[in-house]
Amino acid sequence: MIWRQRPLRTVHLLALALCVSAGGDFDWTKQEKTSFYYGTFPTGFSWGVGSSAYQTEGAWNTDGKGMSIWDVFAHKKGKISSNETGDSSCEGYYKFKDDINLMKEMKLNHYRFSISWPRILPSGSKSKNKREHINEKGIRYYNDLINMLLDNKITPVVTLYHWDLPQVLQEKHGGWQNASMVSYFNDFASLCFERFGNRVKHWITFNNPWSIAVEGYETGEHAPGLKLRGSGAYKAAHHIIKAHAKVWHTYDTKWRSKQKGLIGISLTADWGEPVDVSNQRDIEAAERYIHFYLGWFASPLFHGDYPQVMKEYIGRKSGQQGLGASRLPVFSPQEKSYIRGTVDFLGLGHYTTRYVTQKNYPSGFGDSYFADRDLAELVDPQWPDPGSEWLYSVPWGFRRLLNFVKTQYGNPMMYVTENGVSEKRLCTDLCDDWRMQYLREYINEMLKAVKDGVNVKGYTAWSLLDSFEWDEGFSERFGLYFVDFSNKNKPRYPKASVQFYKRIISSNGFPNQREVESWKRKAVETCSSSNQLLAAGQSGDAEGCVWFVADPLIGHMEMVTEIVVPTVCTLCILLSAVFFMFLLRRRL
């Protein structure tokens, strides 16, 4: 799923002022922080949940599956929190029927999942070499999953690449640093169209290519863990964009007329808001933030080339560093034409917002994607923070981002492919009121955007289950269902947000104030029994839970209770003993 950007330290921000000035077609001065809107989505709006193969399937070396870059990366000591791996994770490979029953109970319209490339092509390719074969057991698993979804009237939305590249392609070719990945990915996608396309009508080529490029090849936080600063991310992104376009054309020419499906891509982006909307430099910095983030991939697909501001800034920085050419690769005129227009729909993932201001990085700072942008990211400490180090709840930013996409890219058909909130805890209170609040407010901002005319057709909550959260291991949980990873059977327990989201789905939005206000109360009433089941299932282990609380006041109170009070009590006992010894000596 999911990507996380490391924030800079929090700073308190002054209130923003209205002013005149705008960048592009988007009105940066328009304030859209309006009150809650009661209303419903258009008929046919699709509601779903999401997952990805490596995060949930487990069975990492079962039934002929090949190694992925995440299998290798997670097994390296020190790469993942607590050295955890996705080897078994949620055991989704074995429990998919149970999970589909959970979806059916929620009355979901669609389920977004990914196909593990090395599970169906263990060596990454399907050449005639006998050692490079199609794994029919992997094909059977996805066939069974797709068929059962359809039997339960749940539409499969399939992601072809959610980060688990076959390890052999990384070792032989350098992964996404090599242009050969374009043809390898096209072969893999063609196999998926051939085997599953008669039933799958919604395909997503890549999930969040920003994270693949930056965290995989710039910072090294994610697999394959390379730190090719200043160039690796741009080269990986260049090949990913070409790979997406090739797969789109392959489907368009060979499969579309028979299968009548759609091909899109899922781009994840935070919203960037100018610190001071009366300052043109801050507005330009915020717009640059989004173009280096979302526009990096969206602009080539919609307009045929990288954003002009990326070409200017990276080109200038490259020149200042004495390089003969820009570190940002160049599309040829033929490639621009080939890439432009290769999206039937845009998938959009969104979690949080940053304030942005101008910050100049000197040329001596070194090659870096982050330095190329010449900006600083800030957060308001008053924004709610459920405990994750990066995810602040800023609902109004969601509406701003959706409207930005509308103005910049011609209001394409959009599906929200990821949106949700985590808790940073080693155990979970299933009455997740913060998640219900997050869903309520973010989905409402999406509803406002639909009323603004934004062409959003569906929403995917991230995620169905707690799962392996990349470099955070199992310490960060996004699931609507709690998974007890300490139990070999990986039982699922519904959080209150399951019932809350189910009511949004059944109402197709927020029909009226009285009804909506009752949802949270009713959802909380159902989760106390789940808490009791969880506690019983953990056989008393829950008593040892460590909690990471978001509220600083609560955190302070816990610190006082757990540290200060015992310390004061100990000191009192010692002082009392000294005092009594002093009295005793005087009497003697």
d(CA 544, CA 412): 50
Name which residue leads in pLDDT, 527 or 297: 297
Q: Output the six-digit token pair for 372.
A: 């190329």
Residue 449 near residue 403, CB atoms below 8 Å = yes
Q: What is the pLDDT of residue 130?
A: 54
Q: What is the pLDDT of residues 186-234, one digit of tens each?
A: 999 999 999 999 999 999 999 999 999 999 999 999 999 999 999 999 9
Length of the chain (residues)? 588
pLDDT at residue 173 is higher than 70: yes
Name which residue leads in pLDDT, 537 or 134: 134
Angle between helices 496-507 and 92-106 (to 10 degrees): 50
Q: What is the pLDDT of residue 490?
A: 96
**For residue 569, what are the contacts with CB-CB under 8 A and spacing of at least 6?**
none
The mean per-residue pLDDT over the stretch 81-86 comes to 96
Q: Output the six-digit token pair for 283.
A: 């507005």
pLDDT at residue 14 is higher than 60: no
Angle between helices 280-290 and 308-320 (to 10 degrees): 100
Q: Output the six-digit token pair for 78.
A: 């020190």
**For residue 337, what are the contacts with CB-CB under 8 A and spacing of at least 6?**
304
User: Annotated catalytic, 517?
Assistant: no
How far CA 465 is from CA of 315, 316, 498, in Å, comes to: 43, 45, 11
Highest mean pLDDT among 20-24, 437-441, 534-538: 437-441
Residue closest to 436 by CA, chosen among 359, 527, 352, 514: 527
Q: What is the pLDDT of residue 583?
A: 59
Binned at pLDDT 50, 70 and 90, residue 387 comes out as low
**3-state helix vs strand vs coil in the chain, percent to 5:** 45, 15, 40
Predicted TM-score (pTM) of the model is 0.88
Main-chain phi, psi angles of 562, to 5 degrees = -85, -25
The upper half-sphere exposure of residue 385, i.e. CA atoms within 13 Å in the direction of its Cβ, equals 21
Residue 424, amino acid: K
Q: What is the pLDDT of residues 430-481, one digit of tens each?
A: 999 999 999 999 999 999 999 999 999 999 999 999 999 999 999 999 999 9
Phi-psi region of 140 (alpha: psi -120 to 50; beta: other; left: phi over 0): alpha
Residue closest to 343 by CA, chosen among 269, 273, 249: 249
d(CA 174, CA 180): 10
**DSSP designation for 400:** H
Q: What is the pLDDT of residue 385?
A: 82
Angle between helices 136-151 and 92-106 (to 10 degrees): 10
Residue 188 near residue 121, CB atoms below 8 Å = yes
Name which residue leads in pLDDT, 553 or 348: 348
| Distance between start and end Cα atoms, the chain | 75
Among candidate residues 418, 445, 472, 476, the one labeled active-site is: 418
Residue closest to 67 by CA, chosen among 76, 384, 476: 76
Nearest-10 Cα torsion for 217, 222, 227, 233? 20
Residue 403 near residue 452, CB atoms below 8 Å = yes
Q: Output the six-digit token pair for 51.
A: 């997952």
